[in-house]
Chains A and B, each alone.
Chain A
Amino acid sequence: EPEVTQTPSHQVTQMGQEVILRCVPISNHLYFYWYRQILGQKVEFLVSFYNNEISEKSEIFDDQFSVERPDGSNFTLKIRSTKLEDSAMYFCASREIGGAGETQYFGPGTRLLVL
């Protein structure tokens, strides 16, 4: 069964450093998302991406964040200057064209720890 994959599974970084989280969405999916989950809290929406542009972003997704689809298979989330409060589990999700959000499939996540 096709699945969303994410790398790395864990990343530890120093405050102020840049990190890039990578995702490979399901191959025929065209809508891509990033969510995050701070330990013990809700899964929160960060950004949605379609047709090589951001379609929606939350207030969390400030200028420190960016997303990119550098090629036909990868989808990345970059945090330019990490802060302690960026420590969280980051999930990539994707869905196929047509239908609504009910078909968002999530990857296993990247656990980011900012020291």
Chain B
Amino acid sequence: QKEVEQDPGPLSVPEGAIVSLNCTYSNSAFQYFMWYRQYSRKGPELLMYTYSSGNKEDGRFTAQVDKSSKYISLFIRDSQPSDSATYLCAMTMSYITLNQGGSEKLVFGKGTKLTVNP
């Protein structure tokens, strides 16, 4: 089983649609969950991060983490053509685990390519 799985898409939606992006993971030691946005041939840009389970909202973006299901989501409301990019989920172990010999490396999903059509 892959450590982090993400449907690569592509996903094409009309402008104004609600977009749902998801990842599943297998390692229960992951505690921090991130969403990065990556434009073509550019570096990943941090969008949001969440610690442990719960929701976090930032403008049109909402991140959800369900640790019991090992499932994370990113919702984009009122999607815009400028949201067209590849969205990468990433996760890492907690700082406490790091101190106990864990890992702080980010483990990424493969990314979902999103196109928002005007």
Contact = CB atoms under 8 A, between A and B. Distances in A.
Interface string B34-51: 101000011111100101
B107 to A, nearest CB: 7
Interface residues of A, number: 29
Interface stretch (B9-17, B67-75, B76-84, B88-96): B88-96
B42 to A, nearest CB: 6
B44 A43 contact: yes
Nearest to A104: B106
A106 B103 contact: no
B103 A56 contact: yes
B49 A45 contact: no
Interface string A48-73: 10000001101000000000000000
Contact of B106 (A4, A35, A89, A108): A35
B92 to A, nearest CB: 4
B44 A45 contact: no
Given A56-B104, A109-B42, A102 B111 contact: no
Contact of B92 (A35, A101, A108): A101
Given A89-B41, A108-B42, A101 B111 contact: no
A75 interface: no
Given A42-B108, A43-B108, A111-B41, A100 B98 contact: yes
Interface of A: 4, 6, 31, 33, 35, 41-45, 48, 55-56, 58, 89, 91, 93, 99-109, 111
25 contacts: A6-B43, A31-B104, A35-B106, A41-B110, A43-B44, A43-B88, A45-B105, A45-B106, A48-B104, A56-B103, A56-B105, A91-B44, A100-B31, A100-B32, A100-B104, A101-B105, A102-B32, A102-B51, A102-B92, A104-B46, A105-B46, A106-B43, A106-B46, A108-B43, A109-B43
